[in-house]
Amino acid sequence: MKLSENSILKNNKVFKAGIGYVLVSIITKGLSVLTLPIYTRIIPQNDFGIINTYYSWVSILLVVISIDFTTSILIAKNDYNTNDFKKYNSNIILSSSMNVILFYLLFLIFRNSITGILNLPEVLIHLLFLDIFVTNIFVLNQMINRVDYSYKKFIVLALVTAFVSPMLSVPILLIINENQYLFKILGDIFPKIIISIILLMPELKKIKCLDKKFINYGLRIAIPLIPHQISGMILNQFDRVLISKFNGYTDTAIYSLSYSYASLLSVVWIALNSAWSPWFFEKMKNDENIKIRDATKKYIYLLTFAYFPLLLISPELIRLFGPDEYLPGLVIVPIVLYGMAFQFTYSLYVNIQYYYKNLWFITTVTIVSAGVNFVLNFYFIPVYGYIAASVTTLISLFIIFIAHFILTNIKYKQKVVNNIFVFKILLFISIITSLFYLCIDNLMYRLILLLICWIIIIYLNGRYIKDVLRRGNL
């Protein structure tokens, strides 16, 4: 009886934590999108480009400089008892923090060469190391909160950083007109500095010296994943770095705003996927292939339903996101959205590989596609600018989709994703995305097209919608 009660309490805690993580993800990402129109109207376009280049470098270098122990925390939770798990966390937080300091000292020695490579004002490179230092502490602590289901602490930390940053930045940017890129970044870093100091102090008191056993354990897990992590960052971030280098910060600003708008689709996807993934693995374990196959179709329809308004009303929404000087970036919005459609569909096949623990193939495909992306960007961005960046990302995501599609169908002979249905949906999306360019200047035509798309999706899901309305739940 006691065991049953403990199980119920744990399941209830897991459920609450899951709901909390989803809501926080939506709120924080939504807030970053909602504040974007404010920043694009306050900050000069060139400065906005510098800011986005800076954060691209933070994302890329964070993985290498801090060694990115986050994944190891998930595994250590199962391998260590409660006391050793706490010791492990203290060790990796302190060792990764020391590693950041070591890299900063190396920068001070080779500052001229590194400043030229990063293509940023030197003051921002000093801030970059500070940013990586505090972000690493913050991210590791948030992962610890996740695995311990300390969702209240997780939510508070996430919301404080999300809300305090614009509350600090916006008033300062309204007063100060010079070097606004610097004050925007300072406003973002400041709350993380305060929180990181509060989080780091207890860790310094817990251990007198680092334990080699825990450090080696973490390195064995973290180091093999670094190529995969960097490859992912190259796919998602390095195009901005190259645009800044070859075409200037203004083009980076235009590209970043358009990409941020299109990433609204990924916000919807991430929120849905956080609920989908645990359900998927549970059903796979129980060999409920038919249920997964049916649910997958509804899942795809739901994302498609969100895809079309983001595409077909994008000219009007881009005008809300930024002033007229950002409108040239409208041309790449359909390309970026189309790439995300492939990203979503290949994730269905990747989940199957995760279930069978085929991590090496996932890593290999990511590295190869990132290599292709880098080479194509290096050759075509100097000629075609940010348009080339959007097309090369689409090509890379298409390569990933094809690779995962082939493996899961040949090696695992999967029966949970309807391949014909997936290709029909991708064809449908391809046609509508192409038609968008024909009526890009005509709102009425685009609204009619949107209505037709929605009617088709609702009609194809008519029976399911009636069942939901009758039962009152999904």
Rounded Cα distance between 232 and 75, Å, is 21
Given a contact cutoff of 8 angstroms between Cβ atoms, the answer to whether 188 and 169 are in contact is: yes
Of 142, 148, 153, 154, give the one whose Cα is nearest residue 14.
148
Rounded Cα distance between 318 and 320, Å, is 5
The pTM (predicted TM-score) of the whole model is: 0.86
Q: Please, which residues have CB within 8 angstroms of residue 231's CB and are 6 or more apart in sequence? A: 363, 366, 367, 369, 370, 371
pLDDT for 186 equals: 94
> What are 293-347's pLDDT values in tens digits?
888 888 888 889 899 999 999 999 999 999 999 999 999 999 999 999 999 999 8
**In which residue ranges of the chain is pLDDT below 70?**
1-15, 17-18, 274-275, 462-474
Neighbours of 347 (CB within 10 A): 17
Q: Please, which residues have CB within 8 angstroms of residue 157's CB and are 6 or more apart in sequence? A: 138, 141, 142, 145, 195
Q: How far apart are the first and last CA of the chain?
A: 31
Q: Which alpha helices (DSSP H) does 322-442 contain, by range?
A: 333-355, 359-384, 386-410, 419-438
pLDDT for 5 equals: 47
pLDDT for 3 equals: 45
Rounded Cα distance between 179 and 424, Å, is 50
Q: Please, which residues have CB within 8 angstroms of residue 39's CB and are 6 or more apart in sequence? A: 48, 169, 170, 173, 184
pLDDT for 235 equals: 85
